[in-house]
Amino acid sequence: MLRFTLAAIALASAAPLLAETHTITPGEGAQERLQEALILAEPGDEIVLEAGRYALTDGLSLDVDNVTVRGAGMNESVIDFTNQQGAGEGLLVTSDGVTLRDFGIENAKGDGIKSKGADQIIYHAIRVEWTNGPDASNGAYGIYPVEASDILVQDSYVRGASDAGIYVGQSKNIIVRRNRVVENVAGIEIENSMGAEVTENLATRNTGGILVFDLPSLPQVGGRSVLVARNAVIDNNTDNFAPEGNIVASVPAGTGVMVMANTDVQVLDNALINNATSHVMLVAYAQDYEDERFQPLPANVVVRGNVYGSGGSAPDFPGGDAVVAALGGALPPVLSDGLHQNLALEDAVPMVSMGFTRRGQPVTEAKPEIIQPVVAGASPELPPITLPEGMEARLK
Amino acid sequence: MIRPGWILAAASLALAGAIGARAVPPPVLVNDALIAGETLPRTLEDFGFFQDQAGRIPANRVVPYTLNTPLYSDGADKLRYIYLPEGTEMAADGEGLLKFPVGSAIIKTFAFGEGEDQRFIETRVLLHRTDGWLALPYRWNDDQSDTRLAVAGARIALTTPEGEEISYRVPNKNQCKQCHTKDGEVTPIGPKARNLSADWLADRVSAGHLGTMPQVAAHFPDWSAREDISDVNSLARAYLDVNCAHCHQPGSMASNSGLDLRWEQHDGQAVGIRKPPVAAGRGAGGYAVSIAPGNPDASIMVHRMSSIEPGVAMPELGKGTVDKDGLAVIRKWIAEMPAQ
């Protein structure tokens, strides 16, 4: 294999070689065989992981454009990092046009799969799981594309991430759909990103279901234009198991959808059921920052067409019990710290405002107030996200 | 003044001696075509960087160098060389990385063990080809007689100078690129003018290997003499630049963290002072900021440098043991920062 491929490279000239399929089997030497295939692949090649368990000691990486890595199914081809000794993630992708599909990654020591600066990447039917369930010693992110344009994450499953199951950061033009995210701190998190659709996902038994955040002092600041629609966000009441210091460590258990410091966010047509703090939460970034580009308040948020089940009965913040008692047993479905700008609450449900007048106020200074809905006309929807031509056709 | 006739005579004598008694081996020539070519050579020997199979005696125009502040690498001894093809020279670029001509190479051998027991583990080469730099790792065999290209890397059990038994990681070809990529291009990291000695640079100029003497305001401190250096800020910032900044700077592997540990970065928060983590996950260890001035024990930077656990440990690559000396300098640096 190595000898052959080296010869192929030596012969490579201006004329591209035909795309090849490199089939990897589990067992002796899988670490070297798989990593070698990932390194020596040519653009257009497909690397096939035959069914079975691949017990690896070191993280993998891919840096060749337009390569497909395909397994026999998310539960059939499993890369097991339980005994990982090095690298910060299970698989690192740094090239464009990559398709990852139909395999699973278990118990990575750091992040599951990270793709950095990898444009036009597809994650399809991938499983990333920490098999012991919620645990602060699990890796941070399951599926982790960052600093890229044109990202598609679909039909995948992530469980046990100590930060976010699916985290898209500092990116543009993003679709996250039909995934299941279970027992992570954050199910799905869209952070410092422009143009994202998060649709038809099931987020359940996380600490928070779906988060839309913007943070200061990062290379890309100014998260905006995020649609959160037609998701089932149910029973997200798992105690927060994120290591302190991380921004998601501040997410209360029982959070459905949370919008922090983002602009143009639409929460439409979701089923929001049994999230014990709040189904929809709007908050400002509370910490100090030095970044002139940063806008710390959530702004231009539309909430419409959602189905609200029970919830808000056990808010996970200091003094929550007293607020609930004062309000007759549960918070209303929408909660704001009071600092949001231009909220269009177009559902006929009340909202509770904590009545803060400045960022970072302690909960003891809250002046909770129920605001009854005034349903006006429907706000216009965000322009749809369109992926580059031919990108989705790679899955055919 | 030696007359030309004498030189010719001496040369022909030497030639006769070489042919007759084979007392002088034929000179090893560096294989310029291989460096500039398109293949991935199978062995280090193919390049002809060394006169001997053991890789200890550099060939003509292969010049050793050292760095004032080196990368830790589990305390490995490192033998570093540059190679410049005949008729070429490097150019200075301020205090920064020397500009290498196409066809040049940078060679670094990693060794463990003292004196007679010293064993070469791997030799990494950077080849400057017309389409950019290529990084390749070569692994030495157990009896030190041969090397083999290790595109997929390797793990090797060895003992560090501190006496720790570790599973040493020879990086794979992609891992080479993870540290050596800036703005999408592979680049050398070490030979920056500010991390080389003025003497070495002056020697290169006089040898015709370097166009002009770089203008350097302050060279990095000599790490081996750190016990005698009182300027802990310079020590710490040089250490962070060399050990961390190849990833932690704009355009590099950890750019998304917002942490910029380059020597020339003067913004405190960018360097980590009171900077909250972004994507550190459990690597944050429960601490709120990268650097808590005056309090190393509450600083994520110290926490991650103190760990060897994947997912927590920093740097992520090239570290099987904690760098106690580096950690001590960073702790002192943070401890001496005014808390408010």
ipTM of the complex: 0.80
* Optimal mutation site among B179, B282, B287, B319, interface A, most CBs of chain A within 10 A: B282
Using CB atoms, pick whichever of A32, A140, A290 lies closest to residue B282: A140
Please check whether residue A233 is in contact with residue A257, taking contact to mean a CB–CB distance below 8 angstroms.
yes
Using CB atoms, pick whichever of B40, B172, B173 lies closest to residue A6: B40
- The predicted pLDDT at position B25 comes to 62
Question: What is the spatial distance between Cα A71 and Cα A34, in angstroms, rounded to a whole number?
Answer: 12
Residue A243: pLDDT band (50, 70, 90) is confident
Question: What is the spatial distance between Cα A290 and Cα B160, in angstroms, rounded to a whole number?
Answer: 43
Would you say residue A7 has pLDDT above 60? no
Question: What is the spatial distance between Cα A76 and Cα B128, in angstroms, rounded to a whole number?
Answer: 43
- The predicted pLDDT at position A208 comes to 98
- The predicted pLDDT at position A364 comes to 82
| Helix (H), strand (E) at residue B339 | none
Q: Which of residues 196-225 of A touch B (CB under 8 A)?
A: 215, 217-219
The alpha-helical segments, DSSP class H, found in A311-370 are: 320-326
Neighbour count for residue A226 (Cβ, 10 Å)? 28
Determine the average pLDDT of the residues in A64-91. 94
Using CB atoms, pick whichever of A6, A141, A217 lies closest to residue B281: A141
Would you say residue A154 has pLDDT above 80? yes
Question: What is the spatial distance between Cα B190 and Cα B188, in angstroms, rounded to a whole number?
Answer: 6
Determine the average pLDDT of the residues in A325-341. 92
Q: Which residues of A touch B321 (CB under 8 A)?
A: none
Question: What is the spatial distance between Cα A212 and Cα A196, in angstroms, rounded to a whole number?
Answer: 10
Determine the average pLDDT of the residues in A89-115. 96
> Greater confidence, A8 or B157?
B157
Q: Which of residues 36-75 of A touch B (CB under 8 A)?
A: 36, 38-40, 57-59, 61-63
φ and ψ of B196, to 5 deg: -115, 160
- The predicted pLDDT at position A152 comes to 98
Q: Which residues of chain B have pLDDT under 70?
A: 1-27
Question: What is the spatial distance between Cα B158 and Cα B177, in angstroms, rounded to a whole number?
Answer: 24
Q: Helix (H, G, I), strand (E, B), or coil: what is residue B4?
A: helix
Flag whether residue A17 sits within 8 Å of chain B, measured between CB atoms. Answer: no
Please check whether residue A144 is in contact with residue A89, taking contact to mean a CB–CB distance below 8 angstroms.
yes
State the maximum Cα–Cα separation within chain A, in Å, rounded to a whole number.
Answer: 77
Helices (H) and strands (E) in chain A, counts: 3, 34
Would you say residue A17 has pLDDT above 70? no
Please check whether residue A192 is in contact with residue A215, taking contact to mean a CB–CB distance below 8 angstroms.
yes
What confidence tens digit (pLDDT) does each residue in B215-240 have?
999 999 999 999 999 999 999 999 99
Cβ-based neighbours of A306, under 8 Å, separated by 6 or more: A267, A268, A269, A270, A271, A272, A279, A280, A333, A347
Question: What is the spatial distance between Cα B172 and Cα A310, in angstroms, rounded to a whole number?
Answer: 53
Helix axes of B324-335 and B232-243: crossing angle, nearest 10 degrees = 130
What confidence tens digit (pLDDT) does each residue in B85-116 have?
999 999 999 999 999 999 999 999 999 998 88
The torsion angle over the Cα atoms of residues A182, A186, A190 and A196, rounded to 10 degrees, is: 30
> Greater confidence, B23 or A58?
A58
- The predicted pLDDT at position A328 comes to 86
**pTM (whole model) above 0.80:** yes
| Helix (H), strand (E) at residue B35 | helix B32-36
Determine the average pLDDT of the residues in A317-325. 87
